[in-house]
Amino acid sequence: MADEVSADPVELAGLANGMLLASQAVGDGWSGVQRALALPAEAFGDTAAGGQAATGQALAAESAGLAAGRLVGVLENVMDALYQVAFAYQQADLESERLLRQFFPDLAY
């Protein structure tokens, strides 16, 4: 006998909405700090290592931006998947109800 898996479409939609809010928070958070991370080369002084420090900082900021963008994308993909599963469960529930009413019209629902 196979194990049955079920989920509440409303709960899944709520979870999907949470993923949307999280993706927006990550995106907004990254947007809020980008300007602060854009340091001019002069901020690193005129020492021999200043140029290397500026380059390292710029690369780190670029990597952080890439990571934030990827995280936003993952959260949005999870959101989409949860909405799809919620819709599928809702459709299955509606179809089951329709069939029950069709074959058992006198059954109390």
**What are the strands, taking DSSP E only, across the chain?**
none
Residue 109: the pLDDT is: 64
pTM of the model: 0.80
Do residues 100 and 19 lie in contact, with contact meaning Cβ atoms separated by under 8 Å? Answer: no
Residue 41: the pLDDT is: 86
d(Cα 60, Cα 51) in Å, to the nearest integer? 14
Residue 94: the pLDDT is: 94
CA-nearest of 8, 15, 7 to 75 is 15
Q: pLDDT tens digits, residue range 81-107? A: 999 999 999 999 999 999 999 999 888
Residue 25: the pLDDT is: 98
The two three-digit tokens of residue 23, written as one number: 């993706």
Residue 21: the pLDDT is: 98
CA-nearest of 2, 12, 26, 21 to 91 is 12
For the chain, what are the domain ranges?
A: 9-103
The ranges of the chain with pLDDT < 70 are 1-2, 109
